[in-house]
């Protein structure tokens, strides 16, 4: 019977995931002759798997229209949420995010969302998103009314 590949202790796997040269699950799996799922399962078993980022700070709206979730402002605000959470963005995303924030700041605009907003420059196909003049004290987003806010969801 062939010998089953053995993963090293979770602490060793976790070390492979740390900077300066973090390995992907795929790279670790290839190194030890196992599947990516096996690597993930071992790390998860010891609570070493990265948790999903909570985007509420950067994307506070409850977005009910599926097409609005994929629009550029939503993508950039998810990047914003990752930045606020201390996560690094991919280089292309970081460039796009930085340029987007700089343009909004330069133009004195913020992002606004409401499902009934018609197509416009912020979301030319599906609408929902708009760039609106910033009010005093606003930066990047116009806070949603409570009815559209994620925190108003019932548990």
SS3 content of the chain, % helix, strand, coil (to 5): 45, 10, 50
pLDDT tens-digit map of 89-125:
889 999 999 999 999 999 999 999 888 889 998 888 8
Flag the least confident range among 30-44, 56-70, 134-148.
56-70
Structure tokens at 142: 């116009």
Domains of the chain with bracketed CATH: 10-45 (1.10.10), 66-152 (no CATH)
Residue 20 has pLDDT above 70, yes or no: yes
pLDDT tens digits, one per residue of 50-95: 655 565 666 667 777 777 778 899 889 888 888 887 778 889 999 9
């Amino acid at each position: 019977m062939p010998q089953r590949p053995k993963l090293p202790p979770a602490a060793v796997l976790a070390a492979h995931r740390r900077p300066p040269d973090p390995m992907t699950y795929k790279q670790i799996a290839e190194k030890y002759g196992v599947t990516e799922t096996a690597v993930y399962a071992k790390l998860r078993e010891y609570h070493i798997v990265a948790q999903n980022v909570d985007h509420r700070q950067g994307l506070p709206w409850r977005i009910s229209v599926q097409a609005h979730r994929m629009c550029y402002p939503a993508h950039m605000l998810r990047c914003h949420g990752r930045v606020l959470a201390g996560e690094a963005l991919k280089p292309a995303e970081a460039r796009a995010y930085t340029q987007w924030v700089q343009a909004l700041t330069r133009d004195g605009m913020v992002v606004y969302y409401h499902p009934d907003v018609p197509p416009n420059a912020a979301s030319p196909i599906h609408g929902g998103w708009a760039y609106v003049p910033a009010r005093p004290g606003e930066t990047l987003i116009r806070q949603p009314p409570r009815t559209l806010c994620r925190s108003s969801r019932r548990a």
